[in-house]
Each structure stands twice: as C-alpha cells, then as structure tokens.
Structure 1
C-alpha cells in the first residue's frame, strides 16, 4: 500500500488545520490502534483458507522498524499492537494452537522493545473454554496487556450471551478489550468497493446495539471495551439505538435504565474521526476520559493518521488536562505497563 494517495488528503482536510499542523500531532502519546502483520501469520491464515485482508483492500507492508520510525515521527511514545483479524472461526483445537503461536510472538516482540510496545492477545473465539484458557495464559504467563477482538466470529458477535463466561472473566480481571470491525457474515452489496469502506462503522454499531440490549456492560460492570474508529457510528446512532421500546414495546425489558450512559462507558480511539463531520458527533458524545489515541497504522497511511490526529488536537476544544488524558493518561490507566512512564 502506498504511504500517500496524491490529492486525497488535501480534499478531505482542506481548510481544517492551522499553522501548528506542521509538527507531529502528539508528544507523548500511547497508540492503542496499531496493527502489525507478521509474515508467519499471513502464511498460516493462507494455509487455513483465509486472507489477511478483506477483498478489495490493499495489504500494507509491515516491519517493526516501520512502526517504530512512524511512532517517533508522530510523537507516539508507545503502542499497544494488535494482529488483525486475529484467529478466524475455526475448530477449537486449531484456533487454540494458532492463538498460542501469535501470542508468544507478541510477547517476544514486546520484550524486545521495552517501553515502546504492549500487545493485545488473540483468542480462539467463539470457543469459550479454549478462549478462557488462552486468556489466562496470555495475561498471567506472557504478560500481555489486553485482548484484541473482531466484531464477529463466524456470525457470533462479541456481545452474544453465549460468550458470557468470557465477559465475566474479562470483567473480573479488568482486561481491556479492543474490538475492531470485520466483515459481516451476511452477504451485503459492495458496489465494487472495499467492504471496510462502509461496513466497518455499521459492524461497530451492530455490536453496540447487542451490548446495549443484552445489558452486557450492566451485567459485567468490570468490562472495559474499546471500540475502534471512534466507536464507528455509535456517537451518531446512540439516541436512535435507545428508541427500541418506541418501536416495539417489549424491548423496554431489555434496555438499561440509562441507555446513553451505558454506551458512554465504551472507549473509542481517534482513528478515522479527524474531520469536521465525524468529529462533531464524537466530540458531543464522548467524554475526554473515554477517548484514546489510535493511528490505524499501517492500514491507513502515516500522513493521513498525522493529519487526522492534528485535527482532533487543533479543533477539539479540549483543555490541556483533557488533552493529556487523551494522549496518554487514559491509556496509562487501562494499561499498567505504561503507567510509571
């Protein structure tokens, strides 16, 4: 994937940045939305009959050196990396073996770059017993920092009640769960466009509606869930999602007493929200203590990420204390590895 698409960023961000935009957007950031693409992972996915990207999406080149140099240029002190799309929905034994190999690689990568990297473990969902075993190993033995999930595993969405034992354990541990969208299982028209272009925000809204009407956050109050891309379309759709009982009366029994407050407990990152339209919605909905830095590197070019984050900094109207929370304070609270830095 090319690091720049001539003219595209100029059209998206024209007139939105001020003179301060020449420098890096951050000075001490912790990036919680940072992808890595190990060669062995791509090969293992291929052997299982899966691709490392969705149809129509360019596969970016990745090396650890490119991540670290990008972080240096953007003022990112540390990144909690993830391997997307994680472990595909295969049988439990195959998934467990695959997850173990990925997680041990992640632990070695973190150990080789102390202070610069943390990592989200992958799990063999939707197989709950195998996922619980790998959760314990990746947290207690490998010392990883959280769990990276996709919105659905073969059609089983992350908020499904069949995963309640996993929710309960993640809540008990206070393990941060970073949820990135993937393609829905139902066939959707694409108009010749990449599935991620339209479906990713919808996938996140689907998951948020499931979490809301299953009262997942209320039943497991220790859950700490990060929704990528600023929560997808959740900020825009939040009030609409709360209208279920107006459409069908029996949904009142499933809706939390404070549905908007429930959704506001979710964290979001800054990836893909740094424009006047998306950011207005996120800014009005999310408190500063629920916003984290996200670059979406290398699936989004570094130059796009830099301009995206500059917009958040320049036009957010945040106080210095709130900006410090967004840049690193909130992440330090979620990820103790970085709390002492």
Structure 2
C-alpha cells in the first residue's frame, strides 16, 4: 500500500476536461487598466500566468484538456468599447486554442448588457472563431444574467445550445467585508442570487435549451435549492412566478468541482447535482494547484462514485457540451 505522500503525488484525475480554468493575457489586464477597471477584485492577489504554466499543471493533474475563460470578461462599458474589447479577447482565445489542438477550448466574452452587440459577438465567436461557449459573470453593472432585458440573448443561446459558464463577481452594492476579500464570502451568494433570478423570472422554463454551468459547485445552490422554492410560503403572490417543479429546474444546471472538494461542502453537491451534471473545475491559477489537486483526490476517493460516474464527471459530461472533445477516446480509469 502506498504512503499518503505517494498518494498526494498521483494525479487526481484521469483524462479530465477542466471547464474552470482562467487565462490572463497581458494585453487584457492593460486594457482594463486603461478603462479604469482592475483585472482582479480588491484584496485578491493577481496570479502570474502564461500558457506553459497551464499546460504543465494540466499534465500533473491528469487533465487532458481545458476550456479556458478570461475573467472578469468585458466590464459594463458603452457598447462600442465593449464590442472592441470582446473581439480582441475572443480572437486571442481562438489563436490560443488553434495553437494547442486537443488541449484547449475557450469560452467567449461578450459586451453585455448591450444585447445587440452581444448577439453579434456571439455569432462571430461561435460561427467564425469556433469557440466553445460563453463565459459570463453574474451581473454587468447591476444587470444580472437572468434579467428579462437579456431575453433575446437567452433565446439565441438556447437555440444554439451554447454552454454558458457563469462565474461570480463582486455584487453591485457594497457589502460589509470585514477587511476580507469580497470573493471569500460574496461569490457563493452571488451565484445564489443569480439562480433565484433565473428561477423566479422563469428564465429556465421559458428557454429550456439553456445549458448553464455554475462555477464553484454552484456556489450555495445545493444548500439553498429547497429554500429558494419556498417563496410562495413566504409571500403568496410569488406562486405566479415559480415554475411547477422549481427544484427540478435547478437540478438541470451544471456545476463544477472548483473549491468544493472537502468533506463538508461536497456531500450536498453530490446529493443535489449527482454525476450527470458535474464537471471538473480547477480554478487555476487563482487557486493554487495543490488546493485543486487535493479537492480532486477527495472527490475521486471519497465521493462514492462508480467508475462509470467518474468517467462522466471527468470527461463524458463535458464531451456532450463541447463537441470539440467529443471525438476523443475516453480513457479508462
């Protein structure tokens, strides 16, 4: 039997696809500075990134491919400025994926909340650049992704079956932070806020083709799902805004494994999401490689999944969402 040190040196995954993997182009950070925005939130260390660090991390962790994103995407600026920045980022991502076939896919960024500009860039990034989905943040200048004002975008994303990867950002109003990074506490709440909006605006019901991936195991959605369905018990008129099977709609959402690989968080995600809607996520390089590796080992070793279920989590679910990887042979565990 191997020692714990030997076990810690083994890759946590076997041929996984990482759907929560950040890239931080230097030109992007510079552009955000020029626009008066930061490429990280206050109190969050900016990691160093280059493509070589991503590829070597993937090799060590048993990750065959990553669908990368540029976070926090395009800030809430005017439509023309947002469209110009989105196009530059997306063309960079297309060049990056072309340079590493079979290893990288990418989520496009869009100039939301400007719907017409976003629809134009969605078509270009999918049909011309061949990117794999769209990376979103929970809100754009206070307009949350589930807002009815974005219904034309929801409809087109649903029609196309475009995977939407939603990452939290700072809430649009200041919250008490106690001298701590806002991401430490607020990110899970941001995801719950968005999910409540998707539910009570009936966005998921009206656009059944939407394929939404919530980062960080869905934030707190697994814990809050039943509570979110209690709106009509708190205020009777909310019954008119709630789908007939609210928890069922929430269980259609995908989530990733980033930051939930521990004995406290993971059981609720395991019970709520199951193997059919769970994807591998590392949150690299914002979270250290050692942290995501330990989380992956916990999920694989203690998650209670069968080999077939692990194969779905590591590769099968992602291959269904991202045709770029569907043709690749699935490696046995």
Question: Secondary structure of 1:182's match?
Answer: coil
Q: CA deviation at 1:91?
A: 0.2
Give the aligned partner of residue 307 of structure 2: 320
Residues in 2 aligned to 1:145 and 1:194: alpha-carbon distance in whole angstroms? 31
* 1:194-273 alignment runs, 5 A limit: 194-273=181-260
- For normalisation by structure 2, the TM-score amounts to 0.96
Give the aligned partner of residue 63 of structure 1: 50
Question: Secondary structure of 1:277's match?
Answer: coil
Give the aligned partner of residue 331 of structure 2: none
Give the aligned partner of residue 101 of structure 1: 88
CA offsets 1:36-83 (integer angstroms, 9 cap, x no match): 000000000000000000000000000000000000000000000000
Q: Which of 146, 163, 166 lines up with 1:159 in the alignment?
A: 146
Are residue 87 (structure 1) and residue 89 (structure 2) matched?
no
Root mean square deviation, CA, Å:
1.0
Q: CA deviation at 1:20?
A: 4.1
Give the aligned partner of residue 143 of structure 1: 130
Q: Would you identify which runs of 4 or more consecutive aligned residues in structure 1 move more than 2 Å?
A: 17-22
Residues in 1 aligned to 2:293 and 2:262: alpha-carbon distance in whole angstroms? 12
Aligned residues: 325
* 1:283-294 alignment runs, 5 A limit: 283-294=270-281
Q: CA deviation at 1:306?
A: 0.2
Question: Secondary structure of 2:195's match?
Answer: helix
Are residue 331 (structure 1) and residue 314 (structure 2) matched?
no
Question: Secondary structure of 2:64's match?
Answer: strand
Cα pair 1:28 1:327 within 8 Å, conserved:
yes
Question: Secondary structure of 2:166's match?
Answer: strand
Q: Which of 2, 5, 16 lines up with 1:29 in the alignment?
A: 16
- For normalisation by structure 1, the TM-score amounts to 0.94
Mind listing any 5+ residue stretches in structure 2 that lack a counterpart?
329-333
Residues in 2 aligned to 1:18 and 1:112: alpha-carbon distance in whole angstroms? 36
Cα distance 1:84–1:325, how it changes in 2: closer, same or farther (>3 A)?
A: same
Question: Secondary structure of 2:316's match?
Answer: helix
Cα pair 1:18 1:314 within 8 Å, conserved:
no
Q: Which of 22, 29, 32 lines up with 1:45 in the alignment?
A: 32
Question: Secondary structure of 2:212's match?
Answer: strand
